[in-house]
């Protein structure tokens, strides 16, 4: 049995070509991982920006709906479409009821008019550059930013309010309908 022993080659390590190939594959893997990380970071930033825009727009549409429902009347648009909404609302600073409620007697007591001019004020919603603004009593309030479009369509006994939010990739359009007073 003397010569049947297996001879092993001595370990030489990596050749230069094998080392370069290994470094290339490692660098390629790092580039792929880097692209995945930056892509996911971009997606997270886009999603959080979109989420914030959606919340802001939903809040603004909710405010518009509440104001229309609580208003005395819609002044603009009464027919067709407009890029602003004008309402006549009940003045918040005044109480609508008289200080003391009179005992009503037929023919002797005056009627209380809740629609008296002193108890009403104008409220306007419009787009100022890219900001949806609420103007009431000379005071402007920002409702939402990055708004691309604001339209109000008067239909039979209801308003259709459309708001388009500007986003990085594409714009989002939101529509709500509310019954007119």
Q: Is the pLDDT of residue 107 over 70?
A: no
Mean pLDDT of 3-19: 73
pTM: 0.66
When the pLDDT of each residue in the chain is averaged and rounded to a whole number, the result is 83
pLDDT band at 10 (very low <50, low <70, confident <90, very high): low
In this structure, the number of other CB atoms found within 10 A of the CB of residue 66 comes to 11
Q: What are phi and psi of 7, to 5 degrees?
A: -100, 135
- Supply 149's token pair: 């479009």
* Coil vs helix vs strand at 2: coil
Mean pLDDT of 104-113: 61
Asked if 151 and 162 count as a contact pair (C-beta separation under 8 A), the reply is yes
Per-residue model confidence (pLDDT) at position 117: 80
Question: 């009503």: which residue's tokens?
Answer: 104
């Amino acid at each position: 049995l003397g010569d049947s022993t297996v001879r092993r080659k001595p370990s030489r390590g990596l050749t230069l070509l094998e080392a370069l190939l290994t470094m290339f594959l490692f660098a390629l893997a790092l580039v792929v991982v880097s692209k995945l990380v930056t892509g996911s970071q971009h997606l997270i930033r886009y999603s959080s920006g979109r989420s914030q825009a959606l919340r802001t727009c939903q809040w603004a549409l909710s405010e518009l709906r509440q104001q229309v429902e609580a208003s005395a009347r819609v002044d603009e648009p009464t027919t067709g479409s407009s890029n602003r909404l004008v309402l006549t609302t009940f003045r918040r600073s005044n109480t609508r009821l008289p200080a003391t409620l009179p005992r009503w007697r037929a023919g002797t007591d005056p009627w209380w008019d809740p629609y008296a001019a002193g108890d009403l004020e104008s409220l306007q919603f419009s787009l100022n550059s890219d900001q949806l603004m609420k103007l009431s009593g000379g005071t402007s309030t920002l409702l939402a930013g990055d708004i691309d479009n604001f339209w109000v369509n008067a239909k039979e006994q209801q308003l259709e309010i459309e708001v388009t939010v500007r986003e990085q990739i594409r714009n989002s359009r939101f529509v709500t309908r509310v019954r007119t007073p």
